[in-house]
């Protein structure tokens, strides 16, 4: 069997949080194209259902949409039960849901700070923890968390201290879980995307004016595309990455190199 065939995900099952749109959607598409069944997990159930239906029609994979607030343990537990009832197992978990608030640190309310941390860090922990429990029982599995290049640098000119802190936490959470689970067959890695041109970013009134400045600073002179994160997700979800755990993959067009 050649390397391309080995990278296939046929017979596997995965979930993607924040999977209805943007980066999460493109990851879900990639996993399905590689052969995996996929659960699209999102608070926006209507958009999640559209994404799941589109993936099923295009790839013939079993897809489901699950409405879940990743900050609520009881909803995460219900999500995992539905995944187990539908797929009978879980091979890969892509803990991706996240938000950003551009608020100066001295003006940020505690509620704003807490919302970002709850979704970006606690939400990743809760969903990764739920996946880990199932994977430990199975004796195998791959957890992939979405961090950010913002865990490595301080983005300018936008003020986003809560986002940067949450994503730095995701990296250390990833490494810590990887060490704890390494001898039990479960791998944990994260990806740290740079500026990615999702529909939300490109159409955001607050971010749109900054894109020209970001591109001027970027070594490649442009933002990344969500599709440019697909191959690393398929690699990490599959068996060819069997010796890869505790790693953070920076995919930023060399933005953090200076």
Burial class (CB in 10 A: 0-12, 13-18, 19+), 215: middle
Contact 153, 99 (CB under 8 A): no
Alpha carbon separation from 159 to 104, 156, 234 (Å, rounded) = 5, 7, 33
Q: Strand locations in the chain, DSSP E?
A: 13-17, 37-42, 63-67, 92-95, 141-146, 186-193, 248-251
Direct distance between the N- and C-terminal alpha carbons of the chain, in angstroms, rounded to an integer: 41
Residues that are catalytic: 148, 163, 167
Contact 52, 40 (CB under 8 A): yes
Contact 127, 17 (CB under 8 A): yes
């Amino acid at each position: 069997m050649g390397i391309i065939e080995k990278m296939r995900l046929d017979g596997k099952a995965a979930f993607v949080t924040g999977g209805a749109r943007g980066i999460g959607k493109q990851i879900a598409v990639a996993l399905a194209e590689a052969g995996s069944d996929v659960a699209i997990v999102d608070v926006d159930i209507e958009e999640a259902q559209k994404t799941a239906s589109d993936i099923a029609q295009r790839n013939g994979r079993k897809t489901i949409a699950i409405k879940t607030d990743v900050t609520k343990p009881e909803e995460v537990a219900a999500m995992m039960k539905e995944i187990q009832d539908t797929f009978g197992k879980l091979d890969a978990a892509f803990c991706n849901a996240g938000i950003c608030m551009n608020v100066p640190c001295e003006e940020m309310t505690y509620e704003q700070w807490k919302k970002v941390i709850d979704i970006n860090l606690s939400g990743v922990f809760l969903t990764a923890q739920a996946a880990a429990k199932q994977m430990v029982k199975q004796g195998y599995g791959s957890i992939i968390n979405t961090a950010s290049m913002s865990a490595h640098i301080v983005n300018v000119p936008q003020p986003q201290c809560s986002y940067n802190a949450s994503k730095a936490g995701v990296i250390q959470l990833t490494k810590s879980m990887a060490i704890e689970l390494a001898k039990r067959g479960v791998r944990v890695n994260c990806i740290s995307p740079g500026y990615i041109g999702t529909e939300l970013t490109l159409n955001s009134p607050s971010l749109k004016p900054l894109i020209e400045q970001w591109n001027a600073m970027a070594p490649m002179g442009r933002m990344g595309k969500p599709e440019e994160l697909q191959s690393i997700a398929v690699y990490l979800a599959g068996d060819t990455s069997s010796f890869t755990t505790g790693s953070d993959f920076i995919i930023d067009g060399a933005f953090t190199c200076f």
